[in-house]
């Protein structure tokens, strides 16, 4: 029952994030706003414990989320063969930029 409550919290916070983004005309998508709301909401045990339970469940089945990606790659194999090297460069650069941004945020957030 607890994972079901946690999943309900996740959906509710994503919906609230979508509403906030649309009503306030924010420059980023609703799921991002929902994740920020989730980050704030995780301070309360009444939300943290059920969300933790559903997170364990979802992470145990994470490999299932890669099936649609694999099907998409096989479906568009001609595009992958044509633009594969460009896609790979973009993936590598965006990964490095994301890691650098995370490092910067952690160093900025943790001051001595």
Q: Which domain holds residue 50?
A: 1-60
Query: Domain check: are 53 and 7 in the same one?
Result: yes
pLDDT digits (tens, 9 = 90+) for 76-98: 899 888 998 999 999 999 999 99
Per-residue pLDDT band for 37 (boundaries 50, 70, 90) equals very high
Among 60, 86, 101, which residue terminates a domain?
60
Query: Domain check: are 50 and 92 in the same one?
Result: no
Is the whole model's pTM more than 0.85, yes or no? Answer: no
Among 43, 60, 77, which residue terminates a domain?
60
The DSSP result for 48-107, as a single string, is HHHHHHHHHHHHHTGGGGGHHHHHHHHHTHHHHHHHHHHHHHHHHHHHHHHHHHHHHHHH
Number of separate domains in the chain? 2
Per-residue pLDDT band for 112 (boundaries 50, 70, 90) equals low
Q: Is 43 helix (H, G, I), strand (E, B) or coil?
A: coil
Residues 29 and 21: their CA atoms lie apart, in Å, by 6
CB 79 within 8 A of CB 87: no
Per-residue pLDDT, averaged over 2-13, amounts to: 92
Query: Domain check: are 68 and 20 in the same one?
Result: no
């Amino acid at each position: 029952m607890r994972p079901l409550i946690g999943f309900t919290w996740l959906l509710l916070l994503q919906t609230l994030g979508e509403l906030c983004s649309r009503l306030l005309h924010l420059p980023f998508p609703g799921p991002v706003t929902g994740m920020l709301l989730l980050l704030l909401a995780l301070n309360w045990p009444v939300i943290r414990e059920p969300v933790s339970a559903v997170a364990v469940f979802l992470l145990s089945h994470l490999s299932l989320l890669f099936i649609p990606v694999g099907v998409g790659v096989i479906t568009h194999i001609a595009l992958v063969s044509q633009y594969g090297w460009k896609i790979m460069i973009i993936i590598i650069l965006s990964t490095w930029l994301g890691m650098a941004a995370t490092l910067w945020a952690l160093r900025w957030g943790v001051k001595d």
